[in-house]
Amino acid sequence: MNKLGSTATTAIVQMLIGPAGINSGLASLTAPDNQIVAPIDAGHIHAQNVAADLAERSTKTKYPAVYVYCEKVANTLAEKFRSFSGSLQMAVEVRHSQDRLDGLQNALELYSDSVMQVLDQGRGDWGQGLYYCGGYDATVGAVKQGGRNFVQTAKITFRIEVSRN
């Protein structure tokens, strides 16, 4: 695989942290409503696949938290003479926690909408044989106990096409 998952994960994290990243999207999404949500620091974005309860037990988790990881690698050999020609199934999980239920889902939706806005702007060639055509699926999980009292997760999944020698 030649570290394809790690390469793609790093590219996505850099997009989320960058000047046109998640905080830029938050600023544009919250301006009309004057809804206050905390910006996401680079320390809140993690390049790993870890369950929420395990992350809370093993480290001091700061919310909102974003987890970026590769779920699946498929070498379909669409281009016959390439060593890898296929796709990567990527995931971005946004987790938000607060002490009250009121406004939890609204804040989570703002954070996940901001991630989707970054993806919409990032269509095209990412270099190193990675290409994002656009499109994603987003699911919002149920509120659970955890974090600051209540925690909720939104998961955005999408495919990156890969063509490498």
Model pLDDT for residues 20-60, shown as the tens digit of each residue: 999 988 888 876 665 668 889 999 999 998 887 788 778 77
Specify the CATH number for the domain of residue 46. Answer: 3.30.2000
**157 pLDDT above the threshold of 70:** yes
Domain extent at residue 76: 4-164
Instruction: Grade residue 158 by pLDDT with cuts at 50, 70 and 90.
Output: very high
Structurally, the chain folds into a number of domains equal to 1
pLDDT > 80? residue 89:
yes
What pTM did the predictor assign? 0.91
DSSP lists the bridge partners of residue 15 as none
Q: Got the DSSP string for 24-66?
A: HHHHHHHTTTT---PPPPGGGEE-S---HHHHHHHS---SSEE
